[in-house]
Homo-oligomer: A and B are copies of this chain.
Amino acid sequence: MRILITGAAGFLGSHLCDRLLADRHAVIGMDNFITGSPDNLAHLMGNPDFAFYRHDVSNYIFIPGRVDAVLHFASPASPNPASPFSFSNLPIPTMKAGALGTHNCLGVCHARGARFLLASTSEIYGDPLEHPQKETYWGHTDPVGPRSMYDEAKRFAEALTMAYHRFHGVDTRIVRIFNTYGARMRLDDGRVVPNFLQQALRGEPLTVYGDGSQTRSFCYVDDLVEGIVRLLESDYHEPVNIGNPVETTIREFAETINRIVGNQAGIVFKSEHRLGDDPQRRQPDIGRAQSILKWEPKVSLEEGLARTIPYFKQKMGLA
């Protein structure tokens, strides 16, 4: 297939480029570099099966030649308002990528008869009232709250995807991505994995906000990419959660990182600075992915962190 990936220079987009090229597809990358980095694609320049367009997906997309699938991964995605790369500091680009970008991608698919895969998110569940979250759960988001630029953009993108599927017969997929980590995460977007890893590699205490009892579920990027490829190759149109159901408290997570890195500096607890409705718990129910895609994560947190650390060391000048 000849596959367009928006957000190709981002963390997940660049891993998808690598995987789909390895699977013998031709890949067209697209990115505007608002949050993505050319460094993530540098190794693909010169690859005859890879092309790249520097383009903002919220503007009309024209790709010469065949397009068999579009994977829409372009969006700011960090929830930390302390980072200039967070969706809360990029509200208009975030909403344009979610609405206009999804609209443009679906337009390409409708015109070319191409398959569409939307990168949605566990954020559409908001601050969930059900645990773990099944795909049938409607979610709990504040339409005018501090995370609404991201949550409502992704909910809109899902609804638009279903509208194109039901009304125009476009062959669509929706993946709801839970927390993922691995090489090529931005070091400076304020998420807990890069924050902890950098502190640990510097030999500093890890900063935990609140008492550390809030939980997250972390999926290693190779597992996530495998799930996305299986979904793309399936014929399933309803949303599918892809993420790691192993729930860990932030405190346990910090301890694991310190152990693997060999950091003796421990943890410091700071008073909570939640972003408005930052969820206390988030955990995927992956029953649908298990039954339909025969997928489940394979990489343990220890193994995944061990594979991720060399990237951080290199970026920090420690390698």
Binding site for B on A (CB under 8 A): 91-92, 95-96, 98-100, 103, 124, 126, 138-145, 148-149, 151-153, 155-156, 158-160, 162-164, 166-168, 174, 238-239
Q: Is the CB of A239 within 8 A of B156?
A: no
Q: Is the CB of B144 within 8 A of A148?
A: no
Also in contact, A167 and B96, with CB within 8 A (given A138-B143, A159-B143): no
Q: Is the CB of A91 within 8 A of B163?
A: yes
Minimum-distance CB pairs A-B, first 9:
A148-B159, A152-B159, A91-B163, A156-B156, A99-B99, A143-B155, A143-B158, A144-B162, A138-B142
- A91, closest chain B residue (CB): B163
| A96 and B107 alpha carbons, distance in the complex (Å) | 12
Residue of B141, B159, B166 touching A95 (CB-CB under 8 A)? B159
Q: Is the CB of B138 within 8 A of A159?
A: no
Also in contact, A139 and B149, with CB within 8 A (given A155-B155, A155-B156, A163-B95): no
Whole-angstrom distance from the CB of A241 to the nearest CB of chain B?
A: 13
18 contacts between A and B (CB under 8 A): A92-B164, A92-B168, A95-B103, A95-B159, A99-B99, A99-B103, A99-B160, A100-B100, A138-B141, A138-B142, A138-B145, A144-B159, A144-B238, A148-B159, A148-B162, A152-B152, A152-B156, A155-B155
Q: Is the CB of A143 within 8 A of B153?
A: no
Chain B residues within an 8 Å CB radius of A238: 144
Q: Is the CB of B92 within 8 A of A163?
A: yes
Also in contact, A156 and B95, with CB within 8 A (given A138-B143, A239-B144): yes
Also in contact, A167 and B99, with CB within 8 A (given A144-B238, A152-B155, A162-B148): no
Whole-angstrom distance from the CB of A128 to the nearest CB of chain B?
A: 12
Residue of B142, B144, B148, B158 touching A152 (CB-CB under 8 A)? B158
Chain B residues within an 8 Å CB radius of A96: 103
Chain B residues within an 8 Å CB radius of A92: 163-164, 167-168
Q: Is the CB of A167 within 8 A of B91?
A: yes
Chain B residues within an 8 Å CB radius of A153: 156, 159
Residue of B99, B126, B140, B143 touching A124 (CB-CB under 8 A)? B143
Chain B residues within an 8 Å CB radius of A166: 91
Residue of B100, B149, B158, B159 touching A159 (CB-CB under 8 A)? B149
Q: Is the CB of A158 within 8 A of B144?
A: yes
Chain B residues within an 8 Å CB radius of A159: 95, 143-144, 148-149, 151-153
Chain B residues within an 8 Å CB radius of A151: 159
